[in-house]
Amino acid sequence: MKALVVCSGGLDSVTLAYKVAKEGSLSSLLSFDYGQRHNKEIDFAARCAKQLNTPHIVIDLSQVGSQLTGSALTDDIDIPDGHYAEESMKVTVVPNRNAIMMTIAFGLATSQKADAVAMAVHGGDHFIYPDCRPEFIEAFATMQNFALEGLNETSNSNNNIELYTPYLHKDKTEIARDSAKYNVPVADTWSCYKGQDQHCGRCGTCVERREAFHLAGLKDPTEYADTEYWQTVVSGAHE
């Protein structure tokens, strides 16, 4: 398998890139600037590409992002503290974000003659992001098969592209375990939605990240501004 990996620079997609590099090969890493306030994550995707010696492509979708209103990731809305399982986290949904990123990824994959597009969607995302659910992923793959059918008969590209989502039915704890298995430099990944100097330790993705290492029985090398908050939230969510 030669895969284009959609890579945000976060723990999940960087671990996926290492997994793909081990199992097969990379055609490139693909990142998107959609105006997210934590776009510093893209620098971490660039580091990953350098470490894995593969091209890094950054697509500027900030113009599109500015039109996708209503998300705390792109608009002037506070990022909520707490656990992903909470209703309040729905304000972090960017409408149709994954579908947009994935169609561009499939377009680029045809030109790169990749066999697969790899996405790090995982089971823990399903609560709040409709475009991370298995139903969506399956329907997307079907749509792409029709969209590219017959193309490589005449053009200098590949139309037979798999959507590779090995974490779709797994949770972030398994991704944390894989990060150890594939020797991922975890401190060189960025999750926090607030995009400040340090991981805040309070937003949904910080809490989830810290919890995942805890549940995996692994040390989390990340430096959090608030090191205690996650425990109070996680115990609340699990009550």
Residues at the site binding a copy of itself, with contacts judged by CB under 8 A: 57, 59-60, 63-64, 67-71, 87, 90-91, 93, 95-100, 102-104, 106-108, 110-111, 130-131, 133, 135-136, 139-140, 142-151, 153-157, 159
C-beta closer to a copy of itself: residue 131 or 208: 131
C-beta closer to a copy of itself: residue 67 or 227: 67
We find the least distance from the C-beta atom of residue 100 to a copy of itself, in angstroms, to be 4
Q: What one-letter code names the amino acid at 186? A: V
We find the least distance from the C-beta atom of residue 179 to a copy of itself, in angstroms, to be 28
We find the least distance from the C-beta atom of residue 129 to a copy of itself, in angstroms, to be 10
C-beta closer to a copy of itself: residue 142 or 196: 142
Cα–Cα–Cα angle for 60, 61, 67, nearest 5°? 150
C-beta closer to a copy of itself: residue 14 or 117: 117
We find the least distance from the C-beta atom of residue 6 to a copy of itself, in angstroms, to be 14
Place of tokens 């039915």: 169
**What is the C-alpha separation between 188 and 16, in angstroms, rounded?**
14
C-beta closer to a copy of itself: residue 40 or 133: 133
C-beta closer to a copy of itself: residue 111 or 198: 111
We find the least distance from the C-beta atom of residue 18 to a copy of itself, in angstroms, to be 24
We find the least distance from the C-beta atom of residue 49 to a copy of itself, in angstroms, to be 15
